[in-house]
Copies of this chain bind each other. A is one copy, B any other.
């Protein structure tokens, strides 16, 4: 993409309304624009990151056996009356009347609707296990939306729902999502720590939050330092093997870890000082087992191998992709801007032409642009007539992992400079060697 044809509205000044660094950097880097209270447009750069984040989530959901569907945003109040949550949910639920004065709502979550889909079609244990997920907009009418996309009112959510014959099956489904989440966050360059959590309005008896540590975290968390060294399950993890998956969950739930609400001072006191990690955390995922909480009132049951009818045992599993973008920035930035992990970077390379109009600079940049693009790299080519200082500042701010810089002096010598955004390391290379530098590993 040529920057001269792109829409990247960089802000020079720090926006006053932004209280945390991710909000500030997303506004400054031209990723988002606020449209209303807790509501944001993803501008082209932000949209590209969102797509990368969603794609990783999707791949890991599919790998764990979940199937993608897409439910509507607007739901009938009737369904929520069936589960008993319509009145419980309070003012956070956006209630709507249509032209026929029917009660509707903008879904804050989808347990009821997916249970309705399930009970329509599934009648036998032979069709289980089943896990359906979608990535869809949600609306929660928070009293005080803030921190940009970290706590919005309209936000994107990946929510998965598992259906099983009994507790044992449901626990295995829960474990698969647990392991899938470990892989998902690790692929985004995040160290996420699963912590026992409160279940809140979703309900249930078993729940984990996935927390990443960041100074600006919304809550205090406590965990054993052992987490920092635990191996993340690899690509060859066999999600069909309940024992293997269970062992991974066991490993990741053995050291002490708790959010503020669930913190146990006595257990904490038993951990040696040097092994304690007390820090601020950001919730990036939340999984629940809630058994028959919805299947019973909504009459979602299947015939078991015993010939009898059983209410299915359910769980739900959420990740907020828009919030995740902010969390990644909180965990990975410096004073000059964002530092994207390669897996979610909006472009792989910033190609900077320091002097457009200089024949050699243009020729070398055109050549690098086409060879890098042909090699499958997403290149943002700064071909604008801004001054070099401004171009460097923009490249640092938007945080692409690599910068390839072509100036008149280097161009005359057939050379370009390659800069690593994270380490700041610079290397001068013959133009021909730049491509091999970016060959796939």
| Least distance between A346 CB and chain B CB atoms (Å) | 12
Among B9, B50, B99, which residue has its beta carbon within 8 angstroms of that of A121?
B9
Contact A139 B33 (CB under 8 A): no
A247-272: contact bitstring with B at CB < 8 Å (1 yes, 0 no)?
00000000000000000000000000
Alpha-carbon distance A47/B71, docked complex (angstroms): 10
Contacts of A127 in B (CB 8 A): 7
Contacts of A70 in B (CB 8 A): 41-42, 46-47, 50
| Least distance between A188 CB and chain B CB atoms (Å) | 19
Question: A96 at interface (Cβ–Cβ under 8 A)?
Answer: yes
Q: Given A44-B69, A68-B47, A143-B99 in contact, is the A74-B154 Cβ separation under 8 Å?
A: yes
Contacts of A99 in B (CB 8 A): 91, 141, 143
Alpha-carbon distance A68/B36, docked complex (angstroms): 20
Question: A279 at interface (Cβ–Cβ under 8 A)?
Answer: no
Q: Given A121-B9, A137-B137 in contact, is the A75-B44 Cβ separation under 8 Å?
A: no
Question: A202 at interface (Cβ–Cβ under 8 A)?
Answer: no
| Least distance between A129 CB and chain B CB atoms (Å) | 9
Among B6, B36, B71, B106, which residue has its beta carbon within 8 angstroms of that of A35?
B71
Among B30, B69, B137, which residue has its beta carbon within 8 angstroms of that of A41?
B69
| Least distance between A250 CB and chain B CB atoms (Å) | 26
Contacts of A153 in B (CB 8 A): 74, 98
Among B33, B47, B72, B117, which residue has its beta carbon within 8 angstroms of that of A154?
B72
Alpha-carbon distance A226/B27, docked complex (angstroms): 51
Contact A7 B130 (CB under 8 A): yes
Among B7, B33, B96, which residue has its beta carbon within 8 angstroms of that of A67?
B7
| Least distance between A93 CB and chain B CB atoms (Å) | 9
Contact B72 A39 (CB under 8 A): yes
Q: Which of A94-147 contact B (CB under 8 A)?
A: 94, 96, 98-99, 102, 104, 106, 113, 116-117, 120-122, 127, 130, 132, 137, 139, 141, 143
Besides A35-B113, A74-B139, 8 new A-B residue pairs in contact (Cβ under 8 A), listed by A number: A7-B67, A9-B121, A35-B75, A36-B76, A41-B69, A44-B132, A74-B154, A94-B96
28 contacts between A and B (CB under 8 A): A7-B69, A7-B132, A9-B121, A9-B122, A33-B121, A35-B71, A35-B72, A35-B116, A36-B74, A36-B76, A37-B98, A37-B102, A39-B72, A41-B69, A41-B72, A41-B117, A43-B69, A44-B68, A44-B69, A47-B68, A47-B70, A72-B137, A73-B73, A73-B137, A94-B96, A94-B98, A96-B96, A99-B143
Residues of A within 8 A of B (CB): 5-7, 9, 30, 33, 35-37, 39-44, 46-47, 50, 65, 67-76, 91, 94, 96, 98-99, 102, 104, 106, 113, 116-117, 120-122, 127, 130, 132, 137, 139, 141, 143, 153-154
